[in-house]
Structure 1
Amino acid sequence: MDISIVIPLLNEKDSLQELYAWILKVMQSHQYAYEIIFIDDGSTDGSWKVIEELSSEHKEVKGIRFQRNYGKSQALDAGFEKANGAVVITMDADLQDNPEEIPELYDLIIKEDFDLISGWKKKRYDNVITKNIPSKLFNLAARKTSGLKLHDFNCGLKAYKNTVVKSVKVSGEMHRYIPVLAKNEGFDKIGEKVVQHQARKYGETKFGMSRFINGFLDLITISFLSKFGKRPMHIFGLWGTLMFIFGLLSAGYIGAMKLYKLSVGAKTILVTDNPWFYIALTAMILGVQLFLAGFIGELLIKTKSNEKHYKIRQNLNL
């Protein structure tokens, strides 16, 4: 199979028939062998009924229905698991991503041998205040933190080699950082393509300030995980050891000074009246806690399961 098109969605029933017809036109004109995987992330507007109708009429249309709303990352993860195409295309269901871009994305993966191509919506039709400006700030921070020179990390239109989507685990709200996750797995041929952005035709955006804030929090998380996710002892153990040694040396110094003053008959104060006693004690306690955090982190990594963070209610054609 040439292409798997993975489409997560939430309450997009008005756009699904039109989106399918648009994709079908592109696929037929280029004679691709393809599948379309719709992942219904807990829609309440009848989106699943439309997917059922499409899948019953067209065997290339497949559907995954979540038990409830779990988020875009979980939807993509479920779609990636089922994708069979040599190239996997992700796109949003709101008609703001243009299916006409698919052939060029496919060629970049197959002919130019890229591992991943990320879309760049250079000209956007979103609200400038609520989405465009926050998006620019977010992408600037993501570039600086990840080292990937991409302009639009959050663009839903991306193309991957099948081996990439089978290697990355997308959870939480990490869908924005799939290029970073891919880079961390050793896929370093990552490119970017300017894609056409369409104005929203139906429904309303799911973007809000909470997602903007969550995006920055996830950026901090993935930056930490990319460096220490597989070796937490290297960070927690290091700082824990340093703090414990600092506290131990401080306590030793306090004890030595106490003994010295006693030996020369000088006036002394209780050890507990010395503020350095509490600094030393705190440093040793924090040091032990940090070391244990690193140790527990190592145990979790070695014993973690591949448990999915979503429940599928129904599958179609899968």
Structure 2
Amino acid sequence: MNISVVIPLLNEAESLKELHDWIVSVMQSNRFTYELIFIDDGSTDDSWETILQLSTINSNVKGIKFQKNYGKSQALNAGFIEAQGDVVITMDADLQDNPDEIPELFNLIQNEKYDLISGWKKVRYDSVVWKNTPSKLFNWAARKTSGLKLHDFNCGLKAYRNAVIKNIDVSGEMHRYIPVLAKNAGFTKIAEKVVKHQARKYGKTKFGIERFIHGFLDLLTIWFISKFGKRPMHLFGAMGTLMFIIGFCFSVYLGADKLFINPTGRLITERPQFYIALATMIMGTQFFLAGFIAEMILRSRQEHTNYKIAHKLNLPKHASQNSINLN
């Protein structure tokens, strides 16, 4: 199979038929073999019913319906598990991503041998306050912390080699930083392509002011994971050891001062420096233990999904997948 198109969505019933027809037209004109995987992230409108209708007229349409809203990252992760295409393309369901970009994205992955191509919405039709400004800020911070010179980390339109999506775990709200996850997994042939962006045709954006906070917290998380995710003891152990040594040396100094330099002075316990040294040693011990426990958890953890699937459409059932059947 040439292409898997993975489309996460939430309450986008009005746009799905038009998006489907547009993608199918592109696939047929380029003679691609393909599958469309729609992931309904707990929609409360008729999105799932629309997907079911599309599947009756197009056997390439596949679907996943979450039991409730879990977020875009979980939706993408579920789609990545199922995707079978040599090239996997993600796009949003709101018609702001242009399916006419698919052939060139496919060529860059399949023929130019890139691992990941990230779209760059150079000209945007979003709100300046709610999307453009925070996106520029997040992208600047992501470039500085990750070393990837991308202009638009959060663009929904991306293309991946199949091996990439099978070797990354998109959880929490890390969909904003998938290129960083790919780089951390060892996929270094990452580039970007300027893509057409269109104004939202139906409905309204699903993102509010909370994306400011979530974006920065996710960036801090992914920076920490990329630096110390595989070796937490290197951070916590080093900090703990350093603090313990500082506190211990300070305590030795206070003891020596009382015994040999100023034996008639105040008791050690009456000096505030003693409690600073004691607190530093205790905190150092706690940091060291935190690093040790993190190492133990890292070595013993088991992989698991963090979402529940209510229904699948035209997809195989995996025995190990965390899903439930509500039929």
TM value normalised by structure 1: 0.98
Residues 165-244 of structure 1: matches in 2 within 5 Å? 165-244=165-244
CA contact under 8 A between 1:261 and 1:268: conserved in structure 2? no
* Percent identity of equivalent pairs: 67
SS at the partner of 1:7?
strand
Alpha-carbon distance in structure 1 between the residues aligned to 2:247 and 2:133: 46
| CA-CA distance at 1:261 after TM superposition | 4.3
Q: 2:279 aligns with which of 275, 279, 282?
A: 282
| CA-CA distance at 1:56 after TM superposition | 2.5
Alpha-carbon distance in structure 1 between the residues aligned to 2:109 and 2:294: 37
Alpha-carbon distance in structure 2 between the residues aligned to 1:224 and 1:144: 14
Partner amino acid, structure 2, of 1:97: D
Partner amino acid, structure 1, of 2:53: E
| CA-CA distance at 1:270 after TM superposition | 1.4
Alpha-carbon distance in structure 1 between the residues aligned to 2:240 and 2:93: 48
1:148 equivalent to 2:145? Answer no
Q: What stretches of structure 1 of length at least 5 have no aligned partner?
A: none
1:256 equivalent to 2:282? Answer no
SS at the partner of 1:167?
coil
Alpha-carbon distance in structure 2 between the residues aligned to 1:167 and 1:29: 31
Partner amino acid, structure 2, of 1:92: D
Alpha-carbon distance in structure 1 between the residues aligned to 2:25 and 2:261: 91
Partner amino acid, structure 2, of 1:288: T
- Which residue of the partner structure matches residue 106 of structure 2? 106
- Which residue of the partner structure matches residue 160 of structure 2? 160
- Which residue of the partner structure matches residue 34 of structure 2? 34
- Which residue of the partner structure matches residue 247 of structure 2? 247
Q: CA RMSD in A?
A: 0.9
1:292 equivalent to 2:264? Answer no
CA contact under 8 A between 1:88 and 1:162: conserved in structure 2? yes
1:170-211 CA distance string (max 9 Å, x none): 000000111000000110000100000011000000121211
Partner amino acid, structure 1, of 2:103: P
Q: 1:302 aligns with which of 291, 299, 304?
A: 299
| CA-CA distance at 1:57 after TM superposition | 2.4
SS at the partner of 2:166?
helix
| CA-CA distance at 1:141 after TM superposition | 1.0
1:121-158 CA distance string (max 9 Å, x none): 00001111221111111111111111100000000000
Alpha-carbon distance in structure 2 between the residues aligned to 1:237 and 1:90: 40
- Which residue of the partner structure matches residue 14 of structure 1? 14
Residues 113-128 of structure 1: matches in 2 within 5 Å? 113-128=113-128
Q: 1:270 aligns with which of 267, 271, 274?
A: 267
Alpha-carbon distance in structure 2 between the residues aligned to 1:212 and 1:147: 22
| CA-CA distance at 1:212 after TM superposition | 2.1
Q: What stretches of structure 2 of length at least 5 have no aligned partner?
A: 316-327
Alpha-carbon distance in structure 1 between the residues aligned to 2:52 and 2:264: 87
- Which residue of the partner structure matches residue 130 of structure 1? 130
In the comparison of the two structures, how many residue pairs are matched?
Answer: 315
